[in-house]
Amino acid sequence: MCVRAPMRFPPLLTPGSRVALVAPSGPLRDERDLQHALDNVRAFGWDPVVGEHVLARDGYLAGTDALRLADLERFAADDSIDAVWCIRGGYGAMRLLDAIDYDAWCRRPRALIGYSDITALHAAIGARAELVTFHGPTARARLTPLTRNSFESTVASGTPVTISSTHTTTLRGGRARGRLAGGNLALVAALMGTPYELDLDGAILVLEDVGEAVYRLDRMLTQLRLAGALTGVAGIAFGHFTEIPCNTTDTTDTDRPLDRLLAEIAAACGVPCVANFPIGHIDDQVTLPLGAVAELDADNRTLVIERSS
């Protein structure tokens, strides 16, 4: 299977880079979330620029669609902004996809950083701007040394990266090379059938999620399989699926644990596959440049990320 031409990497962040802070999805808890985000930006030697509406709230959203979009569009149109770092995930980014000015991201490539619900922005902006975006910690997170080092080396150093973890396990051996694609499973599944669904042909698919029962994970993965989205994947790296609810009804069968489900998907796809890859709603998470070409060695449980620009 051929590997498509690499997407463009945005310019590396350097001391003094201007980093915009936005909340395109769920609301912040309070000003402490914003302060954590400001502290993180400054700790890297960057200059934070705060969206006007980041503390807004509209129920489960960080303000109305118009307000959240206004911050995102303001920074996309500002050539002095070097990165857009999402303060948190939650839900709501999908609601903005039809209104984003994608041409602005094409004209001035910049780093887009976040994970979880931010998967919707990675999928839409990455494809339309042919731009590598970064599946990494949200700006409000307390960064562990591992998370900080991975993040900084990916967005600021530009050196080739090899990712490995003693917790990663092999589900199906072999090697695969392809573009990194994916993110949060719920969002990847929800985007199917829309203009923003991920093209996974020849991709190394990475998936994670939080708070989902095993049967719901099964349903989402089965949806991807039945939709043909998994037919052409080159390899799969399952991240962590955390905070799985305890069995409270007979809907979830304790005889069908998560590892069995993931093994079934690996067998059905017939491609190299690992589990417990260090991404997801976990303290120690690596930053992945979605859209970049990488090589997965499932036997040795490593992912080597290439950088062509």
Is 165 a known active-site residue? Answer: no
Calpha distance 2→201 (Å, rounded) = 10
Selected catalytic residue, list 25, 150, 197, 208: 208
Q: Catalogue all structural domains in the chain, each as residue range(s) with its CATH number.
A: 18-157 (3.40.50.10740), 161-305 (3.50.30.60)
For 253-272, letters b (16+ CB in 10 Å) and e give eeeeebeebbbbbbeebebb
Contact present, 132 and 10 (Cβ < 8 Å): yes
Taking the CA atoms of residue 41, residue 45, residue 51 and residue 56 in that order, the dihedral angle to the nearest 10 degrees is: 30
Is 208 a known active-site residue? Answer: yes
Selected catalytic residue, list 53, 197, 281, 295: 281
pLDDT of residue 1: 41
pLDDT of residue 112: 98
Q: pLDDT tens across 245-256, in order? A: 986 555 555 678
Is 17 a known active-site residue? Answer: no
Selected catalytic residue, list 17, 116, 135, 240: 116
Calpha distance 237→56 (Å, rounded) = 36
What's the length of the chain?
309
Which regions in the chain score pLDDT beneath 70?
1-6, 247-254, 308-309
Question: Average model confidence (pLDDT) for the chain?
Answer: 95
Q: pLDDT tens across 153-192, in order? A: 999 998 888 999 999 999 999 999 999 999 999 999 999 9
